[in-house]
């Protein structure tokens, strides 16, 4: 609809297995990928979704959607190529998202090697690639001013997620140098509906469940996932090859954001900021506790350290070149919270009935 497969590509090879489609979405069960798939379908595009084999979450997250499901893992080059063949565009949003010290090798296999295979497959198939990176692949400015797409690396903790998102961008740009038509988007902290896992919505769930007494002293940039999905659609249509676009939103301290979360959920407002030393101590305790289990606790020293930083980003480039816009954050929080309520992830606050007189 918006792109055509390069005529230099063998049409028989392009149509192998799955036929032609407007867009392939990887990570279609995740918060962003699910919203992208739904937006494309609502706009009349045909969609192919790459899902992990035997994914129970995939059955639920994609139920009722008129799209083509393709089971594949990012380590399987042949399956990836077959899934990409025939797609005019590929939105690659699949990644392991985790702030911690562990799993660097696993995250490299998925976030870096998997991205490289998708980029190579898109180049061979003549498809445009929209690579979903993160603002964590961009540095923070030492003066606290908003960072943009050209800000030098630095200021963030060098955890496996930050490292692998940066390396994944390098893998995409390497394929661009070989002829791939690719655009990179760097979303900030996303909230919104269709967060099946849930992922970044866990912060809202925790505060909305009454666990937000003291907020970490840092700040972040918050945006509606549906606005990021719209930004990806316009990047597909008119983003410049090899160019980064920050898809940003509202810069708020965690305390400001948590007060909004609590207000929407009907909970008591946070009392203030936690002391940095307390946040760091909680992170180290999480590290120690993680030694006795397979999975790392979400509260760990890396996550705690990141929550002390001021994440502030400038999305002027996306606004001027893509026409990118974002809605009021309170609308986003309201919609996200009520989606969690409607789908059984959260419970509404009980109100005490008035006594009869």
pLDDT tens figures, 249-277: 999 999 999 999 999 999 999 999 999 99
Residue 64 maps to a domain: yes
**Which 3 state secondary structure label does DSSP give 17?**
coil
Crossing angle for the helix pair 329-342 and 254-265, nearest 10 degrees?
50
Percent of the chain scored above 90 by pLDDT?
78
Residue 295 maps to a domain: no
SS (H, E, C) 34-99: HHHHHHHHHCCCCEEEEECCCCHHHHHHCCCCCCEEEECCCCCHHHHHHHHCCEEEEEECCCCCCC
* Residue 266: per-residue pLDDT: 95
Residues 113-167: tens digit of each pLDDT: 999 999 999 999 999 999 999 999 999 998 889 999 999 998 888 889 999 999 9
Residue 211 maps to a domain: no
CA distances from 80 to 52, 108, 119 (A): 11, 17, 10
**What CATH number should be reported for the domain holding residue 179?**
3.40.50.720
Going by C-beta distance under 8 Å and a sequence separation of 6 or more, which residues neighbour residue 315?
A: 245, 246, 247, 248, 249, 324
Residue 28 maps to a domain: yes
The C-alpha atoms of residue 225 and residue 223 are separated, in whole angstroms, by 6
Choice between 101 and 14, residue whose per-residue pLDDT is larger:
101
In this prediction, residue 59 has a pLDDT band, given cuts at 50, 70 and 90, of: confident
Question: What are residue 208's DSSP bridge partners?
Answer: none
In this prediction, residue 16 has a pLDDT band, given cuts at 50, 70 and 90, of: low
Residue 49 maps to a domain: yes
Residue 261 maps to a domain: no
Q: Report DSSP letters for 160-176, one per residue.
A: HHHHHHHHHHHHHHHHH
Tell me if 91 sits within 8 A of 26, measured CB to CB.
yes
* Residue 1: per-residue pLDDT: 41
Residues 204-222: tens digit of each pLDDT: 999 999 999 999 999 999 9
Question: What are residue 68's DSSP bridge partners?
Answer: 48
Residue 94 maps to a domain: yes
Choice between 267 and 104, residue whose per-residue pLDDT is larger:
267
Residue 338 maps to a domain: no
Host domain of residue 99 = 11-192+222-256+312-329
Domains held by the chain: number: 1
């Amino acid at each position: 609809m918006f792109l055509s497969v390069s005529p230099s590509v063998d049409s028989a090879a392009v149509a192998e297995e799955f036929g032609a489609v407007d867009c392939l979405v990887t990570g279609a069960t995740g918060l962003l990928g699910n919203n992208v798939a739904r937006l494309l379908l609502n706009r009349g595009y045909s969609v192919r979704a790459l899902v992990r084999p035997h994914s129970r979450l995939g059955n639920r997250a994609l139920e009722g959607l008129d799209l083509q499901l393709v089971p594949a893992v990012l380590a399987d080059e042949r399956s990836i190529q077959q899934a990409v063949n025939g797609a005019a565009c590929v939105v690659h949003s699949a990644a392991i998202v985790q702030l911690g010290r562990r799993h660097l090798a696993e995250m490299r296999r998925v976030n870096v090697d998997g991205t490289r295979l998708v980029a190579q497959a898109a180049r061979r198939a003549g498809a445009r690639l929209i690579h979903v990176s993160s603002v964590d692949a961009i540095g923070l400015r030492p003066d606290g001013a908003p960072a943009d797409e050209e800000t030098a690396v630095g200021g963030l903790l060098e955890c496996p997620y930050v490292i692998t998102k940066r390396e994944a961008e390098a893998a995409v740009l390497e394929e661009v140098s070989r002829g791939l038509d690719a655009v990179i988007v760097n979303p900030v902290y996303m909230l919104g509906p269709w967060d099946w896992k849930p992922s970044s919505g866990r912060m809202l769930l925790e505060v909305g469940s009454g666990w937000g007494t003291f907020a970490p002293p840092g700040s972040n940039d918050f945006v509606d996932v549906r606005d990021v999905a719209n930004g990806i659609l316009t990047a597909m249509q008119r983003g410049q090859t090899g160019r980064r676009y920050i898809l940003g939103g509202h810069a708020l301290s965690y305390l400001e954001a948590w007060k909004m979360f609590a207000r929407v959920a009907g909970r008591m407002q946070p009392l203030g900021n936690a002391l940095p030393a307390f946040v760091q101590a909680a992170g180290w305790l999480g590290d120690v506790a993680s030694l006795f289990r397979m999975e790392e606790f979400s509260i760990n020293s890396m996550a705690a350290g990141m929550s002390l930083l001021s994440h502030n980003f400038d999305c002027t480039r996306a606004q001027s070149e893509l026409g990118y816009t974002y809605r009021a954050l309170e609308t986003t929080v309201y919609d996200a919270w009520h989606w969690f309520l409607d789908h059984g992830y959260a419970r509404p606050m009980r109100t005490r009935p008035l006594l009869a007189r």
